[in-house]
Amino acid sequence: MRAWPAPAPAPSGAPTYTRPELSAAEYCGDDGQRIPYGERWGAGSPDPDSYSTVSHPERFAGLHTVAEALIDHLERAFAVTVRREQPGPDGGFDPPLLHPQDGVTALVRVIPEHPDAAPLSFAFTNFPGVFVEAGLLHTFPYPICGCDACDETAENQAAEVEELVLGVAGGGYAEEFPLGSAGETLYSLVSFDEGGTQTGWRSGNGGAPTTIPEERLDAAAATLAALPRGWQAWPRRG
């Protein structure tokens, strides 16, 4: 993986991102007691039945609001093209999603004007949730799971999607493919605050992408190989 120099701080007066206010609604169980999502299990282990239970998925509706706010910020701050698409009669899109999902109600593609900058696509689902495709070969779901055992909240998942999207736009995202004899995929994400200070780092090995058409993999491999310095920061407007 390449090393990421800290990006230059945003120019004075450049648009900044602010998370929209999320609903503070409370949710109750069958016993009428409030469910403390995000802290249900404390230091203990989840109830075994909770792994197969999804209660109150509507608590994630705020992720649609956050995704739209991020798209609006990207369009205001960066030189991009935004394409909004509805599913076709078969429920699919053209070009198709990397990993087609059930219940996708809309797709927004955000394409930087510079070819060395990684594109982003936001697939809105009726769960409700959002799948974000970053670059050419990786899909990130929000919520990551949604089951009661994982105990995710709209707030902590909003932080995750913001870190990904702003990290990609800031030039902190990298993809490698193919790796090893199995042709595996790998991504890395370095996140920065608006002053250019590194705030986090993570990576993931996606294994061999067996469900992606070969021609799409070949095209991705050629594109990644041709990037002289990997994915770069998005060009800013003006």
d(CA 157, CA 45): 21
- Phi and psi (nearest 5°) for 88? -75, -175
- Phi and psi (nearest 5°) for 215? -65, -35
Given a cut of 70, whether residue 89 has pLDDT beyond it is: yes
Let me know: does 74 contact 50? Beta carbons within 8 Å. Answer: no
The tens digit of pLDDT for each residue in 100-147 reads 988 999 999 999 999 999 999 999 999 999 999 999 999 999 999 999
d(CA 196, CA 186): 24
Given a cut of 70, whether residue 9 has pLDDT beyond it is: no
Given a cut of 60, whether residue 222 has pLDDT beyond it is: yes
Domain boundaries, the chain: 57-226
